[in-house]
Structure 1
Amino acid sequence: MKILVTGATGFLGSQLVKALRLDGHTIIILKRSTSDCSRIKEILPDLITYDTDHGQWEAPLLEQGKIDAIIHTATCYGRNNESHTTMVDANVTFPLKLLDMAMRFGTPFFLNTDTFSSAPIRLSKHLQPYNLTKRQFREWGKCLADTSSLQFINVRLEHVYGPYDNTNKFVTSVIKSCLENQPELRLTEGKQARDFIYVEDVVSAFRVLLAHAARLPAGFTEYQVGTGTATSIREFVERVHQMTQSSTVLKFGSIAYTDREIMHSQADTRSLQGLGWNHRVKLEDGLRKVMATFK
Structure 2
Amino acid sequence: MKILITGSTGFLGSHLTKALVHEGHEVIILKRSFSDTWRIADILPKVTVFNVDQSPLEQLFTESGPIDVVIHSATKYDRNGENASQLLDSNVLFPLRLLETASAFKTKMFINTDSFIHKNLVGYRYLPGYALTKKQFLEWGKEFGTSEKIRFINVRLEHIYGSFDSETKFVPFILSSCLRNLPELQLTPGNQKRDFLHVNDAVTAYSLLIRQKITDVPWFKEYELGTGETVTVRHFVELLHQKTQSKTILKFGALPHRENEIMESKANNDDIKKLGWNSKISLEKGIELLLKDEK
TM-score, with length taken from structure 1 = 0.97
Give a deviation string over 1:63-105, Cα, whole Å, max 9, x none: 0111111000000012222221111100000100011001111
Deviation at 1:41, TM superposition (A): 1.2
Structure 2 residue aligned with 1:124: 124
Structure 1 residue aligned with 2:134: 134
Structure 2 residue aligned with 1:207: 207
Moved more, 182-191 or 121-130: 121-130
> Aligned to 2:212, what secondary structure does the other structure show?
helix
Off by >6 Å, runs of 4+ in structure 1: none
Structure 2 residue aligned with 1:174: 174
The residue type equivalent to 1:33 in the other structure is S
Rounded Cα–Cα distance in structure 2 between residues aligned with 1:221 and 1:148: 12
Structure 2 residue aligned with 1:48: 48
Contact 1:28 1:60 in 2 (8 A): no
Structure 2 residue aligned with 1:105: 105
Rounded Cα–Cα distance in structure 2 between residues aligned with 1:121 and 1:11: 24
The residue type equivalent to 1:195 in the other structure is D
Give a deviation string over 1:5-63, Cα, whole Å, max 9, x none: 00011111111111111111111111000011111111111111111111332122110
Distance of aligned partners of 1:173 and 1:18 in 2 relative to their CA distance in 1, 3 Å threshold: same
Deviation at 1:259, TM superposition (A): 1.2
- 1:146-225 aligned within 5 A: 146-212=146-212, 214-225=214-225
Rounded Cα–Cα distance in structure 2 between residues aligned with 1:85 and 1:192: 31
Rounded Cα–Cα distance in structure 2 between residues aligned with 1:68 and 1:28: 11
> Aligned to 2:53, what secondary structure does the other structure show?
helix
Structure 2 residue aligned with 1:82: 82
Deviation at 1:252, TM superposition (A): 0.9
Structure 1 residue aligned with 2:35: 35
The percentage of counterpart residues that share the same residue type is 47
Deviation at 1:148, TM superposition (A): 2.7
> Aligned to 1:54, what secondary structure does the other structure show?
coil
Contact 1:224 1:272 in 2 (8 A): yes
Contact 1:103 1:148 in 2 (8 A): no
Distance of aligned partners of 1:203 and 1:123 in 2 relative to their CA distance in 1, 3 Å threshold: farther
Rounded Cα–Cα distance in structure 2 between residues aligned with 1:30 and 1:107: 16
Rounded Cα–Cα distance in structure 2 between residues aligned with 1:217 and 1:63: 27
Rounded Cα–Cα distance in structure 1 between residues aligned with 2:284 and 2:249: 21
The residue type equivalent to 2:284 in the other structure is E
Rounded Cα–Cα distance in structure 2 between residues aligned with 1:165 and 1:137: 24
The residue type equivalent to 2:205 in the other structure is A
Contact 2:226 2:269 in 1 (8 A): yes
Give a deviation string over 1:222-244, Cα, whole Å, max 9, x none: 11111111010111111112222
Rounded Cα–Cα distance in structure 1 between residues aligned with 2:73 and 2:250: 34
Contact 1:109 1:213 in 2 (8 A): no
Structure 2 residue aligned with 1:282: 282
Deviation at 1:120, TM superposition (A): 0.7
> Aligned to 1:27, what secondary structure does the other structure show?
strand
> Aligned to 2:259, what secondary structure does the other structure show?
coil
Note if 1:226 corresponds to 2:226. Answer: yes
Rounded Cα–Cα distance in structure 2 between residues aligned with 1:178 and 1:44: 33
The residue type equivalent to 1:147 in the other structure is S
Deviation at 1:250, TM superposition (A): 1.0
Any unmatched runs of 5+ in structure 2?
Answer: none
Deviation at 1:168, TM superposition (A): 1.2
Contact 1:72 1:113 in 2 (8 A): yes
Contact 2:123 2:259 in 1 (8 A): no
Moved more, 144-153 or 102-111: 144-153
Distance of aligned partners of 1:38 and 1:213 in 2 relative to their CA distance in 1, 3 Å threshold: farther
Alignment size in residue pairs: 295
